Amino acid sequence: MKSIKVGLLGIGTVGGGVFNVLKRNHDEILRRAGIGIEIAMVADLDTARATALVGPGVQVVADARAVIANPEIDIVVELIGGYGIARQLVLEAIEAGKHVVTANKALLAVHGTEIFSAAHRKGVMVAFEAAVAGGIPIIKSLREGLSANRIEWIAGIINGTTNFILSEMRDKGLDFDVVLKEAQRLGYAEADPTFDIEGVDAAHKAALMSAIAFGVPVQFDKAYIEGITRLAAQDIRYAEQLGYRIKLLGITKKTPKGIELRVHPTLVPNKRLIANVEGAMNAVMVHGDAVGTTLFYGKGAGSEPTASAVIA
């Protein structure tokens, strides 16, 4: 049986997860998809490490454009990240008639309109389930599961780093700076955590959900963005005394005046399910006119949770 041949651009944490999950669950994926999915080619600057990871039978190259140029590759999976070379490679893959799968929310939030227009012209798909909320299938839910509804609003904890920090501040009564250092030590926060703690990462994801929910172009540049850096332990404590928990929420909402798109610390009544989402977990609430309020919960990052979404 012919299998779908995939080219991976980047085999770091997520790429390694994609390779391992595809290998481990090959028979189950074949049963569900009706066709095999095979990683036939990998591009990574560290070819020695990549070769050791994938073993014999998979071609490893340093030049990502060699993957795009290979006529046998059906789908290009972009896992490089960032706005620069990733944008060029995605557009080149589309121009070559390849379907593209990406986990790159920053790229799509900033250049999504250009990328989706190029894909539409060439008749190929750009799939990005892994770009929002890790392993939670929120993109498919918005596109398909809730397609009978007029979506009225979405509110979500969509950045695990900030949720971990806020959870630790509440549990231990510590200030932001102390907990951030601990989060970096444990690997929950990057060495440069700016995108996370200033709300930019959550805004990237909220912009993508807003575009799908309301049928508008991706408009990250119009989002109101406020992070958690100014929160102190006493803010968390006072909120708790009043019956609230502070969560960094990405919110998009349809109003008579237009669409709201915002990210900021929010007081959430502590009896609400989403207020009790702790640690690095993610949760997204979606309110539709027919279904009412739904809640999607799960791991928002990590090698295999994100790989789950890439493969899907």
User: Among residues 98, 205, 247, 299, which one is catalytic?
Assistant: 205
pTM of the model: 0.93
Residue ranges of alpha helices (H) inside 104-224 are 105-122, 138-140, 160-172, 176-186, 194-197, 200-214
Give the list of residues 6+ apart from residue 92 with CB closer than 8 angstroms, or none. 65, 68
User: Which amino acid belongs to residue 24?
Assistant: R
Q: What pLDDT does 98 receive? A: 97
The average confidence (pLDDT) of the chain is: 95
Which domains does the chain possess?
A: 3-127 (3.40.50.720), 138-300 (3.30.360.10)
Q: What pLDDT does 1 receive? A: 62
C-alpha distance from residue 308 to each of 33, 107, 276, 279, 312 (Å): 14, 20, 25, 20, 6
| DSSP letter for each residue of 144-177 | IITTTS-EEEEEEE--HHHHHHHHHHHHH---HH
β-bridge mates for residue 253, sequence order = 153, 260
Task: Take residue 230 and report the two structure tokens written for it.
Answer: 């100014």
Structure-model confidence comparison of residues 1 and 120, the more confident one: 120
CA Rg value for the chain = 20
pLDDT band of residue 83 (cuts 50, 70, 90) is confident
Over range 3-13, report the average pLDDT. Answer: 94
Q: What tens digit of pLDDT does each residue of 31-67 get?
A: 999 999 999 999 999 999 999 999 888 999 999 999 9
Task: Report phi then psi at 9, rounded to 5.
Answer: -100, 100
pLDDT of 302 higher than 90: no
Catalytic annotation present for 105: no
Over range 5-11, report the average pLDDT. Answer: 96
C-alpha distance from residue 223 to each of 86, 88, 108, 262 (Å): 23, 25, 15, 5
